[in-house]
Amino acid sequence: MAAEVLVRFVDRAFAPVRLPASSCLAEHLDVTNSPLLFGCRTGICGTCLIRVEGEVPPPGDEERELLDLLAPGDPQARLACQVELTCDVCVEPHPEAA
């Protein structure tokens, strides 16, 4: 695995960010450097619902349960605070997050 991964945003108003591999988006992103919003940062509130392009590890059972409620049937939906960065990704706030 590479030491760093590149996080790009569909909203090109925000510059891509290089982050350490295996870290979490919530550790490094906020409203100053990304279009993503965070609340609890622990996988409970659903504020950080996003769409992810990239081969990241699948959601755990608790995340899956919340995703089924917030964005049923969307395989790209994830909670940004729960995504482990194992590869380059492109992310955007999920339309259901508004």
Task: Kindly list the residues in this chain that would bind ligand FES in the complex (CB under 6 A).
Answer: 38-41, 43-48, 79, 81
Compare residues 53 and 65 and give the one whose CB is closer to ligand FES. Answer: 65
Q: How far is the CB of 80 from ligand FES (least distance, A)?
A: 6
Query: In whole angstroms, what is the distance from residue 90 CA to residue 16 CA?
Result: 9
Q: What is the largest CA-CA distance in the chain?
A: 34
Residue with tokens 């993503």: 36
The dihedral sign for the CA sequence 90, 17, 88, 84 = negative
Compare residues 35 and 43 and give the one whose CB is closer to ligand FES. Answer: 43
Q: How far is the CB of 3 from ligand FES (least distance, A)?
A: 25
